[in-house]
Structure 1
Amino acid sequence: MENFSLDQIPFSRNGSFLLITSRNSSGSPRLLYKTCSGRVHNLHDIPFPADEFFELALIKNGQEIPYTWQAQPGLLILSGPSGEEVSIVFADQATLQFHARNTGLRLMPSKVFPVQYSPVPHQIYLIDWFARGIHMFHADENTRLLANITPIVTGIEKHWGEFPCTITFEPRLENTTINGAIRFSRYEGFWEQPPGDLAKAHASLKTELSSWMQKLPSVPEKYQEKAELAWFLLWNCQVPAEGALNRPTIYMSKFWMNGIWAWDNLFNALALARADHRLAWDQLFLFFDYQEPNGMIPDMITDMEPIYGFTKPPIQGWAILQLVDRLGIEKSLPYLRKVYEPLSRLTRWWYTYRDFDHDGLPQYFHGNDSGWDNATVFDQGEPIEGADLGAYMVFQCECLSFIADAINRPEEAKQWKARAQKQLSDLLVHSVRGGHFISPVSGTSQAEPSQSLINYLPLILGQRLPERIREALINDLRPGGPFLTEFGLASEPPSSVKYMHDGYWRGPIWGASTYLVFDGLLQSGETPLAGLIAERFCDMCLQVPGFWENYDALTGQGYRCPGYSWTASIFILLAEWLAKKKS
């Protein structure tokens, strides 16, 4: 791949929280330099975003000049109207290095800084209390480095008695090229090395990225360019094992969904499995790193902290069996030994703490617990015994039985197998009406009517379902049924009175629901329909720039957060399957 849009994917690199984006909250046409770290301190009374650092400006003869930009993997070029040019690369995860020709580079502040100091010539440091770190600026001997108190880009002159600071790199002689570097560090210290060679930094990064891109799974030719963008996005969304993140992590996005959630992570793991099995399993184990003694895992994790309260649906069992299928038992066995006890505790947590009426069917307290935050199935009130949740629990128990057998615990394997069979029986007795699944309010056997696609997710059980139920679900998913549009499966049928174009889980197409239904169709022997849904989703992604959190079911327009990694992962998974099917 060559260029990408900074409106769709920020300029960043694997292992870094730093980024440059054209999505600028001030409304300025300048590019914005910021962080996606969760360590920032957004107090309610500060008049600026704590995660934003500086806007980038080109300066010539003391005046700001307009510029355009071209973003490539590993290289960002800013171009002025008369041949001015600034090239920017990541020298490492915390350092941006640049080379400027016929122009200076000015960093215009998005906030105030309590302390400014210059420990040695050609260096200036600013303490950024709100982002919990220190900005370091380093110029070479041909470059004049200046710090001046100026208003914030939004016009604020000071806050709490602290002042903004503009940093300018400018040539000492007319038409001289200049070199400099910008670093953001959590800790105070000296920057002893001079700015390095930009060409070498770029070459090193290109080599690293090339190695990653070579691991891209094979996809049909028409999807190749888009798949390269998706694979690059998965590289770009990686952040380091730092702070509360005990392992290298793939964030959902570096725009504003800056974290990892306890089911989104598993689709990324599946896409990565064959390319980097250690990184894939790390996405799963991140949450078990913070498992409570009672078995609960966090809802989400950022580099600042794990966050509990809500949770996410227990699709770990389903995902682990998929990982084993992709990797083979020999490569998976070391991970299976480690995951068995945490997975057992998590599964028991659902039965112990989320089954108030003791009917064997756990419940969601809130839509957020299901991952389908505002789906219409929750309009009846909570807690509800989600039909999807009951199906996931079958997989939890089956997976534990499989692992117990693989690690030579035969009695436990039998117990988990029996629990899986009982779970399936309870689900079919309690949650099926008229050949379709319902999600009743806990403690009752009643559910208000809902057309949400979430009640079709038990299809992942495939041949375990009675044929009449399986066929009823599949018929509704076929062309001409309520869900399938020319772009894919709507989360709420467009014919529903509750359908909303940009309604989150009340209409738009999502990657996760698409992939779960796709897998259920495969398990049910409905390969042609699974292939049709896969193609429609991939074609939709092909026609819309970037990868979005969700998509309009009737137009294919991308909604909410751009640069979204699990959508990229699901595109790759489906495109890879389509390639294998054709071969």
Structure 2
Amino acid sequence: MLDLRATPFTERGSRLLVLAESDGSLRVARAEYETRLSETTVLTGLRLFSGDRELPVRRALPDRVSFGAGVDLLFADPGTLVLTGSGARAVWDGGAGEIDGTLVLVGRAGPYDAGELLARAAERRREWFARMPAVPAELRERAEQAWWTLGVNLLPVAFAGGREGVVPSKLGYVGIWNWDSYFHAVALRHADPELARDQLRILLDHQRPDGLIPDVVHDRGVLAETTDLPRSDHDRLAQHVGGPAAPGEPIGGVVPVTKPPLTAWAAWKIHEAAPDLGFLDEVYRPIARSQRWWLTVSDPDGDGLAEYLHPYSSGLDDSPIWDHGPRAEPPDLNSYLALQADRLGDIAEALGRTAEAGEWRRQAARHVELLVARRWNGSRFVTLTKFASGAAAEVATRTPLELMPLLTGRLPREIAERLVADLLSPAFWGERPVPTVAFDDPAFDPDAMWRGPVWLNVNYLLIEGLRHSGFAAEAEELTGRTLDMVNAGGGLYEYWNPLTGARARGATTGFGWSAALFLDLAHRRAGRRP
């Protein structure tokens, strides 16, 4: 069942959202890119009556909202909401109507057959849930919620080339974001590999000639540089990025905006679940161009280690690592690049390009060696703030980004063991690990985005890193604690308070990658791989 106060009733392909207001009435609004629901309201104050008796919502299900007395609200098509039943009346702000078989609230006029609408809605629900990946029985209820979330977050987006993309959330994130799409594909690969592949294609279709993969594909175009950002984002970043750490250094200018380089990682995961050499051949050269972009354009000081040129490119845009300036080099980025080189090696090997595969693997090894030589200080991997002057400063804030080199699987054993010891220390470990700022760091805030809450993508990548680095027991323990937190928390949130396990203040609901990664971890727990 859905809690309409937090999770709207909606459907695959639909922009319409039905939400409950605090007074018990219902509201209908449209999900649009960078637009508040208050600006897209379609209908407010909806209430149903049978005679003088009000019919409250009894159950909100994936395929209908039931009011009792045989009255239901459901979709006739993605743009049409219909009430079915008889002997009841609907009233809303500025209108009213009798329900006699069907009453169209929003969308295309009928006629409609109530029984046919209900049957078709139920069939859509059965068909989608029949494809859900297998999970343990104790996780099934939350997994069904996750699978429903992925389904209803599928939308046609104007610049997606006719493909359906999973939006992160219809509450505030109505576009196809870069690394979100990779995480969404991780779950979709188990049930619909072609749909999973399309999540990558949507971004690669808009790759720039220099190799940059854009940050967002949305209804109005593509976001690939700071000139594409909404004014509100510029204003927010100007307040958040802690003023120029070097005198006179601005945030402005034309700066490329993307997301972390996990494209080859996602493509290989899809291939592991559903081998398709044609797809690997399709994406191999574009991903190789992206890798070169990171190691050239995104390495302005030429030290061989890439940096994030804009906070948004990290995906961690509210992290305290940005409190000192708009450019930074946390250890996660070059870990992803080493991992991507290894996965490009796997793709090249599968395509019979043995010599290229060997070169990619040598690149991965060299990159990890450079990361260790220049960013390992004997106790941890450091994060640097970079300045246009060429100066750099170490960021004192402790984040799990410094543990991401585990993801490479190539660290010297003693360094890997030190990172695992850090992960299991009170700084990062608790009943609900892993906080996005260390528990004992002065910047830790359990509710502030990227400043302390648990994010499932961080946990998932750390689990991958533990496995790649040979710490299977620790990976299983983190998997268990992550699944338990989500299972007990009541929803698929954007992020969680690590102290309480509840939805963190400000986190949106029905979040795509939380749903996807919970499903993938639960599927692994069921003993079905990859």
Instruction: Tell me what 1:440 maps to.
Output: 384
Instruction: Tell me what 1:512 maps to.
Output: 457
Paired residues of 1:437 and 1:455 also in contact (CA < 8 A) = yes
Partners of 1:430 and 1:184 in 2: how far apart? 60
Check if 1:532 corresponds to 2:477.
Answer: yes
Paired residues of 1:262 and 1:287 also in contact (CA < 8 A) = yes
Deviates more, 1:431-440 or 1:279-288: 431-440
Check if 1:489 corresponds to 2:405.
Answer: no
Partners of 2:78 and 2:90 in 1: how far apart? 21
- Secondary structure class of the residue paired with 2:309: coil
- Secondary structure class of the residue paired with 1:520: helix
1:167 counterpart letter in structure 2: G
- Secondary structure class of the residue paired with 1:88: strand
Say if 1:382 and 1:374 are closer, same or farther in 2 by CA, change over 3 A.
same
Say if 1:29 and 1:59 are closer, same or farther in 2 by CA, change over 3 A.
closer
Say if 1:562 and 1:374 are closer, same or farther in 2 by CA, change over 3 A.
same
Check if 1:315 corresponds to 2:295.
Answer: no
1:538 counterpart letter in structure 2: L
Residue of 434, 449, 473 corresponding to 2:419: 473
1:299-352 deviations in Å (ceiling 9; x for gaps): 12223322222321111122223222233xxx2312111111211221111122
Partners of 2:7 and 2:383 in 1: how far apart? 38
Per the TM alignment, residue 178 of structure 1 is displaced from its structure 2 partner at its CA by 4.3
1:458 counterpart letter in structure 2: P
Partners of 2:73 and 2:484 in 1: how far apart? 34
Paired residues of 1:531 and 1:578 also in contact (CA < 8 A) = no
1:413-456 deviations in Å (ceiling 9; x for gaps): 34333322322221111111114211223445751322111111
Instruction: Tell me what 2:4 maps to.
Output: 6
Residue of 387, 408, 414 corresponding to 2:331: 387
Partners of 2:65 and 2:319 in 1: how far apart? 40
Check if 1:197 corresponds to 2:113.
Answer: yes
- Within a 5 Å distance, the mapping from 1:88-107 to structure 2 comes to 88-107=73-92
**Identity of paired residues, percent?**
30
Per the TM alignment, residue 380 of structure 1 is displaced from its structure 2 partner at its CA by 3.7
Paired residues of 1:88 and 1:96 also in contact (CA < 8 A) = yes
1:139-170 deviations in Å (ceiling 9; x for gaps): xxxxxxxxxxxxxxxxxxxxxxxxxxx33222
- Within a 5 Å distance, the mapping from 1:187-266 to structure 2 comes to 194-242=110-158, 244=160, 246-266=162-182
Partners of 1:19 and 1:382 in 2: how far apart? 36
1:170 counterpart letter in structure 2: E
- Between the two proteins, the alignment pairs up a number of residues equal to 493
1:167-208 deviations in Å (ceiling 9; x for gaps): 32226xxxxx342224447xxxxx5xx321122122123223
- Secondary structure class of the residue paired with 2:327: coil
Check if 1:57 corresponds to 2:46.
Answer: yes
Partners of 1:581 and 1:283 in 2: how far apart? 23
1:32-60 deviations in Å (ceiling 9; x for gaps): 111113396x8xxxxx9332110252365
Partners of 2:169 and 2:284 in 1: how far apart? 30
Instruction: Tell me what 1:346 maps to.
Output: 290
Instruction: Tell me what 2:276 maps to.
Output: 332
TM-score by length of 1: 0.79
Instruction: Tell me what 1:131 maps to.
Output: none
Partners of 1:183 and 1:279 in 2: how far apart? 29
Say if 1:528 and 1:54 are closer, same or farther in 2 by CA, change over 3 A.
same
Paired residues of 2:135 and 2:525 also in contact (CA < 8 A) = yes
- Secondary structure class of the residue paired with 2:495: strand
Instruction: Tell me what 1:522 maps to.
Output: 467
Instruction: Tell me what 2:64 maps to.
Output: 75
1:471 counterpart letter in structure 2: E
Per the TM alignment, residue 476 of structure 1 is displaced from its structure 2 partner at its CA by 1.3
Paired residues of 1:101 and 1:178 also in contact (CA < 8 A) = yes
Q: Which has the larger radius of gyration?
A: 1
Partners of 2:58 and 2:528 in 1: how far apart? 40
Partners of 2:50 and 2:523 in 1: how far apart? 53
Instruction: Tell me what 1:449 maps to.
Output: 396
- Secondary structure class of the residue paired with 1:13: coil
Instruction: Tell me what 1:134 maps to.
Output: none
- Secondary structure class of the residue paired with 1:168: strand
Deviates more, 1:27-36 or 1:405-414: 405-414
1:518 counterpart letter in structure 2: I
- Secondary structure class of the residue paired with 1:68: coil
More helix per residue: 2
Per the TM alignment, residue 549 of structure 1 is displaced from its structure 2 partner at its CA by 0.4
Per the TM alignment, residue 9 of structure 1 is displaced from its structure 2 partner at its CA by 2.5
Per the TM alignment, residue 65 of structure 1 is displaced from its structure 2 partner at its CA by 4.4
1:259 counterpart letter in structure 2: G
- Secondary structure class of the residue paired with 1:570: helix
- Secondary structure class of the residue paired with 2:83: strand
Residue of 522, 526, 530 corresponding to 1:579: 526
- Secondary structure class of the residue paired with 1:436: coil
Paired residues of 2:407 and 2:464 also in contact (CA < 8 A) = yes
1:486-507 deviations in Å (ceiling 9; x for gaps): 1221111222111102121111
1:115-134 deviations in Å (ceiling 9; x for gaps): xxxxxxxxxxxxxxxxxxxx
- Secondary structure class of the residue paired with 1:181: strand
- Secondary structure class of the residue paired with 2:292: helix
Instruction: Tell me what 1:19 maps to.
Output: 17
- Secondary structure class of the residue paired with 1:441: strand
1:169 counterpart letter in structure 2: G
Partners of 1:542 and 1:401 in 2: how far apart? 37
1:358-407 deviations in Å (ceiling 9; x for gaps): 11111112332111122233334342222111111112222223223332
Paired residues of 2:149 and 2:512 also in contact (CA < 8 A) = yes
2:39 counterpart letter in structure 1: A
1:290 counterpart letter in structure 2: H
Deviates more, 1:487-496 or 1:414-423: 414-423
- Secondary structure class of the residue paired with 1:487: coil
Paired residues of 1:316 and 1:396 also in contact (CA < 8 A) = yes
Instruction: Tell me what 1:122 maps to.
Output: none
Partners of 2:510 and 2:299 in 1: how far apart? 37
Partners of 2:3 and 2:513 in 1: how far apart? 19
Paired residues of 1:223 and 1:542 also in contact (CA < 8 A) = yes
RMSD: 2.4
Instruction: Tell me what 1:561 maps to.
Output: 508
Partners of 1:392 and 1:570 in 2: how far apart? 18
Instruction: Tell me what 1:360 maps to.
Output: 304
1:180 counterpart letter in structure 2: L
Deviates more, 1:349-358 or 1:314-323: 314-323
Paired residues of 1:257 and 1:561 also in contact (CA < 8 A) = no
Instruction: Tell me what 1:369 maps to.
Output: 313
Partners of 1:203 and 1:316 in 2: how far apart? 40
Partners of 1:59 and 1:9 in 2: how far apart? 20
Per the TM alignment, residue 294 of structure 1 is displaced from its structure 2 partner at its CA by 1.6
Partners of 1:487 and 1:382 in 2: how far apart? 30
1:462-504 deviations in Å (ceiling 9; x for gaps): 2x110111001001112x4311221221111222111102121
Partners of 1:507 and 1:230 in 2: how far apart? 23
- Secondary structure class of the residue paired with 2:444: coil
- Secondary structure class of the residue paired with 1:103: strand
